[in-house]
Amino acid sequence: MTADCSVVVLISGAGTNLQALIDAHDLPIRITAVISNRAGVEGLERARRAGIPARVLPHQDYASREAYDHALAGLIDSHQPDLVVLAGFMRILSAGFVERYTGRMLNIHPSLLPAFRGLQTHRRALEEGCREHGCSVHFVTPDLDAGPVIVQAKVPILSDDTETTLAARVQQQEHRIYPLAVRWYAEGRVRLGNNGILMDGTPMQQPVIL
């Protein structure tokens, strides 16, 4: 893929990962839309400040998950993106939606997957007495947070860490690895094959760890 891999970013909140993608000016992507399921969130302002069309599609307006996901897919497809980037989009996605974007939808998750799928990852890592924690960028598949992982970053857990300090340390790394994974996708270096991830055409045995 060339200099214009077009990307739609889905958010629900602060949008710091969106900001990292906006700020990575040499990324060979064009963010053509930012879509949030929540109104009034900071991520929408970040999009507007960057001149990116920002839309709210409130999930409360739809009777079922499938109905919402159908409308969301219609909105995404109106931008014809090469890649869909989930950046703190806090919704479970229906299988039909995920299948529609298989191999062209990425997510960032705040843990070293397969550890700590789901929510409250920082709290759980502290409670379990882990020595290290981190974040993962993965292709999205129908099972929550279970898709093939492209890249991870590890951070130490310090003895005086709280959820807040640990989350901040992990987020710094999120802002580093998400633009990197998006770059690899946009450059055509990373792809989802039938049996897992291909990196430069070669099966990836394990995620890149930074």
- For the sheet with 208-209, list strands across it: 54-56, 29-36, 5-11, 83-86, 105-109, 132-139, 149-156, 208-209
HSE-up of residue 194 (Cα within 13 Å, Cβ side)? 0
Tokens in use for 127? 């409670």
Stretch that binds ligand GRF, among 6-14, 97-105, 143-151, 201-209 (CB under 6 A): 6-14
Residue 79, amino acid: H
Would residue 109 show up in a list of annotated catalytic residues for this protein? yes
Q: How far is the CB of 45 from ligand GRF (least distance, A)?
A: 12
Active-site residue, from 25, 59, 109, 138: 109
Is residue 14 a contact point for ligand GRF (CB under 6 A)?
A: yes
Q: How far is the CB of 92 from ligand GRF (least distance, A)?
A: 13
Q: How far is the CB of 75 from ligand GRF (least distance, A)?
A: 19
Is residue 13 a contact point for ligand GRF (CB under 6 A)?
A: yes
Three-state SS string over 82-106 comes to: CEEEECCCCCCCCHHHHHHCCCCEE
Q: Which residues are catalytic?
A: 109
Interface residue list for ligand GRF (CB under 6 A): 11, 13-17, 43, 87-88, 108-110, 135, 171, 174
